[in-house]
Amino acid sequence: MFIATLLTAPSTPSLDPALVDSLRNAWGGGEATWLAPDEAAEFPLETLPANQWEVWAELQGMGVDLIVLPAEGRRKKMLLADMDSTMIQQECIDELADEAGVGDFVKDITARAMNGELDFEGALIERVGLLKGLDEAVIGKVLDTRITFMPGGKALLATMKANGAYAALVSGGFTAFTARVADTLGFDENRANTLLTADGKLSGDVGRPILGREAKVQALKDITTRLGLAHADVMAVGDGANDLGMLDLAGAGVALHAKPSVAAECDIRINHGDLTALLYIQGYAKPDFAA
């Protein structure tokens, strides 16, 4: 048994009941359940539709995300999340680079690295090197004035944790940012790279070993082993090439507003919904969301 979920952007909910019924009838699905009026609905299926991705592409043009998942084990016991452009709306290194006057150059490197065009570790070392001499206090300034949270994050964390899930934030960014984000949103732990400093200024280097793609995979393995969970119990979410390992290993790997090359590798692609989409695809209705 499978569950098909259709959802739209919560800021402009526009899911047409006629569209849901049309697809349900075409695929021979069961009765539709509305998880949020005009925003998210689901219906059961006996088998995977042969034309799932053709329909997905058509619905994308209508501002609708379509996800088809096995019904069994939909509700996950652990959330493993990327930070930059996933739990927050920015790339923290790009914001620091703006303060250092090298923003445009660094943003180009970041975009190429996240799209898998550059080696992540080498690209990180190069970008951090350009921050050398930046006052350490700028980190706090960026956190206070430049960083905004991805919509739906607080509801996602609160709801999954209220239902017994564990939440870990694992980032190729920096501990100075993950600590604040993890504390604000309610993550149980966070892992990231450490910006090195000397005499109150950034040294232009980052602590070793560098946390990249393989370290995120290892985090998933380590934490599930520690908690006695299976990889299938994990929902992972990210947007960049360095997230692909953990997205592939997790029971549900979600590409959230991801780079095209990343989304192409994932079966769960959220391009219109926000982080509450991760609740809908687990079968939570809006009234189930924790405060």
> What are 108-129's pLDDT values in tens digits?
999 999 988 999 999 999 999 9
Mean pLDDT, rounded, for 16-41: 98
What's the pLDDT at 21? Answer: 98
Look up residue 204 and give its two tokens: 């232009």
What's the pLDDT at 166? Answer: 98
Cα distances (Å, whole numbers) of residue 250 to 100, 238, 239, 247? 37, 12, 15, 5
In percent, how much of the chain has pLDDT > 70?
A: 100
Asked if the model's pLDDT at residue 251 lies above 80, the reply is yes
What's the pLDDT at 98? Answer: 95
Contact 78, 249 (CB under 8 A): no
Pairing of strands 40-45, 65-70: unpaired
Mean pLDDT, rounded, for 225-243: 97
Q: What are phi and psi of 243, to 5 degrees?
A: -95, -10
- 214/248 Cα distance (integer angstroms): 12
Asked if the model's pLDDT at residue 41 lies above 90, the reply is yes
What's the pLDDT at 47? Answer: 96
- For 278, the 3-state DSSP assignment is helix
What's the pLDDT at 291? Answer: 74
On average, the pLDDT of the chain sits at 96
Contact 173, 193 (CB under 8 A): yes
Q: 1-72 — its CATH code?
A: 3.30.70
> Is 84 labeled as catalytic in the residue annotation?
yes
What's the pLDDT at 196? Answer: 97
- Distant-in-sequence, close-in-space partners of 66: CB < 8 Å, separation ≥ 6: 4, 5, 6, 52, 55, 56, 59
Asked if the model's pLDDT at residue 93 lies above 80, the reply is yes
- Residue among 16, 65, 84, 188 flagged as catalytic: 84
- 129/131 Cα distance (integer angstroms): 5
186-201 residue pLDDT tens: 999 999 999 999 999 9
Contact 85, 113 (CB under 8 A): no
Q: Which helix (H) or strand (E) holds 265?
A: none
What's the pLDDT at 252? Answer: 98
Mean pLDDT, rounded, for 38-55: 97
Asked if the model's pLDDT at residue 259 lies above 90, the reply is no
Angle, to 10 degrees, between the axis of helix 103-114 and the axis of helix 92-100? Answer: 160
- Residue among 16, 38, 65, 82 flagged as catalytic: 82
Contact 267, 65 (CB under 8 A): no
Asked if the model's pLDDT at residue 160 lies above 80, the reply is yes
Asked if the model's pLDDT at residue 278 lies above 80, the reply is yes
Q: Where are the beta strands (DSSP E) in 82-209?
A: 166-174, 189-193, 195-198, 201-206
Give CA angle at 196 (133, 241), nearest 5°. 105
Contact 232, 251 (CB under 8 A): yes
> Is 222 labeled as catalytic in the residue annotation?
no
Confidence bin at 71 (pLDDT 50/70/90): very high
What's the pLDDT at 286? Answer: 98
Which residue carries 């393995």 as its tokens? 221
- 133/25 Cα distance (integer angstroms): 62
